[in-house]
Amino acid sequence: ELGEIEARLGELAEVKEVVVLAREDHPGDKRLVAYWTARSKGEGAMFGALGHGADAGDDEATRQQQEVTRLREHLRVELPEYMVPSAFVKLEAIPLNTSGKVDRKALPAPDAEALVTHAYEAPQGPVEEVLAGIWQELLGVERVGRNDGFFDLGGHSLLIVSLVEKLRQAGLKAEIRQVFHAESLAALAAEISGQEIDTWEAPANLIPQGCTHITPDMLPLVELDQAQIDRIAETVPGGMANIQDIYPLAPLQEGVLFYHRFHRDSDPYVSYAIASFASQEQLKRFAWAMNQVVARHDVLRTVILWEDLPQAVQVVYRHVELVTEPLEVAEEGDALQSIKVYLDDAPLSMDLSRPPLLNLRPVRVTGRMRGGDGEPCYAVLMFHHVIVDHVSLDVMMQEVVQILKGEEGALPVPMHYRDFVAHSLNSQRETDAEAFFRQMLEDVDEPTVPFGLTDVHGDGTAIRASEQLLGAELSQRIRERVRGLGVSAATLFHVAYALMLARCTSRDDVVFGSVLSGRMGGVVGADRMMGMFINTLPVRLKLQGASVLEAMRTVQGVLVGMLKYEQTALAVAQRCSGMDNGVALFSAMLNFRHSQGSDEMAIRSGMAVVDAKERTNYPFAVSVDDLGDGGFALTAQTDVSVVDPARILGYLGCAVQRVVEALEADPERGVLQLEVLPGVEKNQLIHGFNATQAEYPRQALIHELFEQQVQRTPQAVAVQYEGERLTYAQLNAKANQLAHRLRAMRDAA
């Protein structure tokens, strides 16, 4: 491919020599770079003669940008986007080694001017200038032009939440879909200019500080009578004086509560992390900082009540302390192994009526605490997903670090989860979600269940996990392909997952659950709000007759289209299908999430996560963590009694590889033409299972060999059928009887 790019650039009259390299100047940052030299005026047409040149008064930077634009425009006409270099470096001469060949090591790394993929044009007008400033801050770039694209500069879906929030603070309104669809800063500015900011606000919390008697009119988000409020207060230590707020559950929390009530003794939504600390003092400081975070965020002081109430509610306590009593663990080898054995055997459950639903338990192994004489000590951080999700934990770690550094005064004002709940309930009334999902699913009348795994109401105890880190080269190729197509990395993984699912179900029309961040709905402060936001909704992909490129475009459209409905209850989407009530639409789930910075934050807090466990009620689930420069980490969770999760990772890794290869070489290739079987398994299926030839002693006939076996093991079972068994001696006797009978019949004839 590099040779083809060089050939296409060489077609331009103004290009004298050209070399194209795939450079990786920073780990994980691999890109195509074109090096070229220009012909002299006497050798060919110059840029000015072609109408793309710079005026004599223009500065060198402008001239270079116009040259880059010319080269890029030519290649975009001749080649697919993924083959267009991201940088064009103009040289006086191509460096050669002593053999007269190109000295590739001497080719310089591209500078900032060469990396610009569009001709730089300064932002125009106040909206573009505000946008450019926000992009510079979020994306860490020095200069943003009006022709630059958000995703071209390294943006991703999670950063869009922060972008929308910062625009709101600047008095501008942008919808998530507008950011996805806008090809440039100028296009986005034109879209959002003049849009009025949504002025809807959640009803205020009317329970005043120091209140000792809460009445129904103080609770604008939920309808409770006085007797019901009194019963709630009886469950709270300190009574009404310790109640900050009462409001309903968000739709997605209702689903989590359903599974909790179904599996109280082994809740699939209870997760934990085992953390190590250098000393007991470090652990105590971490716990102290955690308590400061709990005091800041109301959702961390929340319990869930539903018994004897017309609907489930969440009750926010004013004061809650982390549970830090030691966790007693029997010694089973070293300390870490002892903790893992204990947690593997212990049923994971939490009482949702007792706060906090996030605890930090120091571990005591057979009566002695760890952390002396340089030995690490351990603690178990356990939490329930009804109050926090993956992003919330990242926010929590960021705040812990700032508090430990003595910078708590610089922390932003905490956002209230009640605002998100109110927004979700209000949006539910206005959305046309049913029409969206009916169009997608109304003719689906069979579930997508890989390997016959149909139970989506399990407690997760049969689920086992396997992990794999994609190689740096493949990860970079993924980023190059999706950047060239103007789509997200999540899109490529969804296509690969759908392909794998098609192979595991023998279907060409698949439906699976996709986990959405839940933070795209425009709630004020959603990027830094703690709480449970994630939601799982169906994605459908018809693979028959679709090319890889078409599948990518289709999935990107579905994912962007679903953002408006990301808080829709799964039950609503299920009703829009042609499935009978009570039958799950799918049993496979994909969770793509951005995880940059999590490990760094943990290290800066003095804590190291040495093991973690997230359970799921889905018997066939895959999580993809986008680690930024660290590539992509895959985790498969399956019912191990049916299929090994490591096997699923092999299929998915192969599917990702094949999709990337197709996008590089033949994007129009049919997606169902791609294989997902790893080489080892394919060889076993084709050759191993068919290798039935076996050597045997050729100096005797088969019946003689059998009689020799009778002599060796007369009482061993030789054959079995429908419960009846015959030993070698019995089978031999019956065979002899049959032989004598056949001889007698022959003689009689």
- Distance in angstroms (rounded) separating the CA atoms of residues 696 and 705: 9
- Average pLDDT of the chain is 85
* pLDDT score of 509: 96
Higher pLDDT, 118 or 275: 275
Q: Is 597 left (phi over 0), alpha (psi -120 to 50) or beta?
A: left
Which residue from 91, 113, 86, 107 is spatially nearest to 30, judged by alpha carbons?
Answer: 86
Lowest-confidence region among 128-137, 282-291, 409-418, 574-583: 574-583
Q: DSSP 3-state assignment of 88?
A: strand
Tokens 């708590």 correspond to what residue? 408
Q: Is 606 left (phi over 0), alpha (psi -120 to 50) or beta?
A: left
Mean pLDDT of all residues in 207-214: 95
CATH class of 125-192: mainly alpha
Q: Fold identical between 222-418 and 431-687?
A: yes
Q: In which order are the strands placed within the sheet that holds 632-639?
A: 463-469, 632-639, 620-626, 588-594, 509-516, 535-542
Query: What is the value of pTM for the model shown?
Result: 0.72
Q: Is the pLDDT of residue 542 over 60?
A: yes
List Cα–Cα distances, 238 to 229, 295, 313, 353, in angstroms: 14, 17, 19, 15
Q: Which residues pair with 594 in a beta bridge?
A: 626
Q: Is the pLDDT of residue 219 over 80?
A: yes
> Which fold would CATH assign to domain 2-115?
GMP Synthetase; Chain A, domain 3 (3.30.300)
Q: DSSP 3-state assignment of 541?
A: strand
Q: Is the pLDDT of residue 249 over 50?
A: yes
Bond before 356 cis per omega within 30 degrees? yes
Structure confidence at residue 153 as a pLDDT band (50, 70, 90): confident
Report yes or no: 379 and 345 within 8 Å, Cβ to Cβ.
Answer: no
Cβ-based neighbours of 300, under 8 Å, separated by 6 or more: 293, 294, 320, 356, 357, 358, 387, 388, 530
* pLDDT score of 261: 87
- Distance in angstroms (rounded) separating the CA atoms of residues 567 and 562: 9
b/e code 436-449 from CB counts within 10 Å (16+ = b) = bbbebbeebeebbb
Look up the CATH number of domain 222-418.
3.30.559.10
Structure confidence at residue 239 as a pLDDT band (50, 70, 90): very high
Cβ-based neighbours of 209, under 8 Å, separated by 6 or more: none
Q: DSSP 3-state assignment of 510?
A: strand
* pLDDT score of 81: 62
Mean pLDDT of all residues in 527-550: 93
Q: Is the pLDDT of residue 102 over 60?
A: yes
The DSSP symbol for 685 reads I
Which residue from 141, 123, 142 is spatially nearest to 189, judged by alpha carbons?
Answer: 123
Higher pLDDT, 522 or 513: 513
Structure confidence at residue 373 as a pLDDT band (50, 70, 90): low
- Distance in angstroms (rounded) separating the CA atoms of residues 650 and 653: 5
- Distance in angstroms (rounded) separating the CA atoms of residues 279 and 196: 54
Mean pLDDT of all residues in 351-374: 78
Mean pLDDT of all residues in 547-559: 93
* CA 546 distance to own-chain centroid: 24
Structure confidence at residue 719 as a pLDDT band (50, 70, 90): very high
Report yes or no: 493 and 653 within 8 Å, Cβ to Cβ.
Answer: no
Report yes or no: 461 and 621 within 8 Å, Cβ to Cβ.
Answer: no
* pLDDT score of 53: 40
- According to DSSP, the β-strands at 243-248 and 15-26 are unpaired
Q: Which amino acid is at 227?
A: A
Backbone angles phi, psi at 382, to 5 degrees: -120, 140
136 is written with which tokens? 């510079």
CATH 3.40.710.10 describes domain 431-687: no
- pLDDT tens-digit map of 384-414: 999 999 889 989 999 999 999 999 889 999 9
Q: Is the pLDDT of residue 29 over 60?
A: no
Q: Is the pLDDT of residue 31 over 80?
A: no
Largest CA distance in the chain: 120
- Distance in angstroms (rounded) separating the CA atoms of residues 734 and 190: 92
Higher pLDDT, 151 or 584: 584
* pLDDT score of 43: 46
The DSSP symbol for 606 reads T
Q: Is the pLDDT of residue 57 over 60?
A: no
Report yes or no: 607 and 284 within 8 Å, Cβ to Cβ.
Answer: no
List Cα–Cα distances, 52 to 68, 99, 115, 255, in angstroms: 10, 37, 19, 59
Mean pLDDT of all residues in 728-747: 91
Q: Is the pLDDT of residue 49 over 50?
A: no
Tokens 């940052």 correspond to what residue? 29
Which residue from 585, 619, 577 is spatially nearest to 512, judged by alpha carbons?
Answer: 585
Mean pLDDT of all residues in 10-16: 88
Q: How many CB atoms lie within 10 A of CB 240?
A: 17
Q: Is the pLDDT of residue 54 over 50?
A: no
Tokens 């993929």 correspond to what residue? 117
Which residue from 314, 390, 397 is spatially nearest to 360, judged by alpha carbons?
Answer: 397
DSSP 453-474: ----S--STTEEEEEEE--HHH
Cβ-based neighbours of 292, under 8 Å, separated by 6 or more: 399, 403, 408
Q: What are the residue ranges of helices labelled H in 79-184?
A: 112-115, 125-139, 157-169, 176-181
What percentage of the chain has pLDDT greater than the value 90? Answer: 45
Structure confidence at residue 302 as a pLDDT band (50, 70, 90): very high
Q: DSSP 3-state assignment of 537?
A: strand
* CA 571 distance to own-chain centroid: 22
Q: DSSP 3-state assignment of 677?
A: coil
* pLDDT score of 76: 76
- Report the run of H or E that residue 444 belongs to, with start and end: none
Structure confidence at residue 116 as a pLDDT band (50, 70, 90): very low
574 is written with which tokens? 């299920």
Q: Which residues pair with 633 in a beta bridge?
A: 469, 625
- Distance in angstroms (rounded) separating the CA atoms of residues 361 and 369: 12
Q: Which amino acid is at 126?
A: P
- Distance in angstroms (rounded) separating the CA atoms of residues 224 and 246: 10
- Distance in angstroms (rounded) separating the CA atoms of residues 498 and 552: 11
Report yes or no: 713 and 707 within 8 Å, Cβ to Cβ.
Answer: no
319 is written with which tokens? 């004061």
- Distance in angstroms (rounded) separating the CA atoms of residues 384 and 302: 11
Structure confidence at residue 223 as a pLDDT band (50, 70, 90): very high
Which residue from 636, 669, 385, 617 is spatially nearest to 493, judged by alpha carbons?
Answer: 636
Which sequence spans correspond to the domains of the chain?
A: 2-115, 125-192, 222-418, 431-687, 702-748
Q: Is the pLDDT of residue 167 over 90?
A: no
Q: Which amino acid is at 113?
A: E
Mean pLDDT of all residues in 664-693: 88
- Distance in angstroms (rounded) separating the CA atoms of residues 372 and 654: 47
Highest mean pLDDT of the ranges 135-144, 167-176, 217-226: 217-226
Q: How many CB atoms lie within 10 A of CB 295?
A: 15
